[in-house]
Structures are given as structure tokens and as C-alpha cells.
Amino acid sequence: MKKILLILVVIISFGITANAQESKLRIAVIDLSGTGNSDSNWANAKTITSLLTTELVNTKRYRVVERSKIEQILSEQGLQASQAASAQAVELGKLLGVHKIITGEYSGIGYFHGTTSIRLIDVETGDIEAAITIKNGIYDKKGRFQRNLSYEEIAKKIVSELF
């Protein structure tokens, strides 16, 4: 009797965990593009993309598609991440089986005085559900530059303001 009860508890627990996982939004984070002529903008954009993905996973509220899966679909479709960040984002989202796509761009003079702009797109409707632009620095009340945000601070700020 105890064995049967234990087996039932395990099966029910597994079912609850599986249902909780199924109910989470499935999200893909497309590589942010680096705007401007600086190679460092592209490197900064990739770093922020990676940290944003990690930050979303760590919330435990979303199922985030692994980057290799995104790259595989992009390769099969003959696209680059920067191209997919615009017109093909919804189609890419459908191919990945996600509910939402996060895309955007990083711009700045190197790492200084730039912005990170993010859009959350609903794959089913193609609508931009939310958009934010974050200054990559901290400024005082008079607008004087104080310090840069770290990449981690930028990623945390995006998640807290977007969701």
C-alpha cells in the first residue's frame, strides 16, 4: 500500500511540474544588433544578449530557447540574426515555436553614453507588446554623466522594466 501511495505521489508531482513548465511563456532572444560603425558595439550587443538570456532563465518564469536552436533555424533559413531582428522576427518565432521574441539594438560610442533598445514581439499577432530604451550610463539630475552601467545591470534592468 505504501509503495502504491508513493508511486501515486511521484506521478502526481511529476504531472504538476510538467504542467507548470508547459504554462510558462516560451521566449527567444534574438542577438541584439550593434548600431554604428564600431566593432565594439557588436561585441557589446552580443554580451548584453547573452546576459539578458541568462537573466530571463534565472527568473524561472520563462522557457527560453537555446541560442544554438535559434542559430540552427537562422542558418536553415539563410538569415543572420541582424536580419531576423526586423521583418522576419515573427516568422522565426513561429519556426521556433515560441510565444514571444525579444529583439533590439545597442548603440553607443564604444561603451560610453549609449543606449540599449529592446522590443518584445508577440509571435501570433506580430504586435510589439512592449518597447524600452535604457541609457547605458547613470546621470545626475543635471544630466551629467556619473558612471556606466555594467552589462549585468543593463540585462537586469531590461528584465525588470520589460516584464
Q: Give the orientation angle of helix 151-162 with respect to helix 39-59, to 10 degrees.
A: 50
Q: Rounded mean pLDDT of 3-18?
A: 51
The phi, psi pair for 30, rounded to 5°, reads -85, 145
What secondary structure letter does DSSP report for 124?
T
Q: How far is CA 146 from the centre of its chain?
A: 27
Q: Does residue 130 lie within any of the structural domains?
A: yes
pLDDT of residue 155: 94
Residue 157, domain member (yes or no):
yes
Amino acid symbol at 144: R
In a domain, 48, yes or no: yes
In a domain, 18, yes or no: no
Under a CB-based contact definition with an 8 Å cutoff, are residues 91 and 105 in contact?
Answer: no
Q: What is the DSSP letter of 143?
A: -
- The SS3 call for residue 111 is coil
User: For the chain, where are the alpha helices, taking DSSP H only?
Assistant: 2-23, 39-59, 67-77, 81-84, 89-96, 151-162
**Which of these, 51, 133, 121, 55, lies nearest to 88 by C-alpha position?**
121
Residue 17 confidence (pLDDT) above 60: no
Distance, CA of 57 to CA of 62 (rounded, Å): 6
> Please, which pLDDT band fits residue 18 given cuts at 50, 70 and 90?
very low
pLDDT (tens digit, 9 = 90+) per residue, 45-87?
999 999 999 999 999 999 999 988 888 888 887 776 655 555 5
Q: Is residue 59 part of a domain?
A: yes
Q: Which residues pair with 138 in a beta bridge?
A: 147
User: Is the residue at 6 inside a domain?
Assistant: no
Domain that holds residue 70: 26-162
For residue 108, the 8-state DSSP code is E
Classify residue 153: in a domain, yes or no. yes
**pLDDT for the residue 122:** 94
**pLDDT per position as a tens digit, 79-135:** 766 555 555 788 888 899 999 999 999 987 655 678 999 999 999 888 999 999 998
Q: What does the pLDDT average to over 22-46?
A: 85
Residue 133 carries which side chain, given as an amino acid letter? T
- CATH number of the domain where residue 137 is located: 3.40.50
Question: What is the tally of structural domains in the chain?
Answer: 1
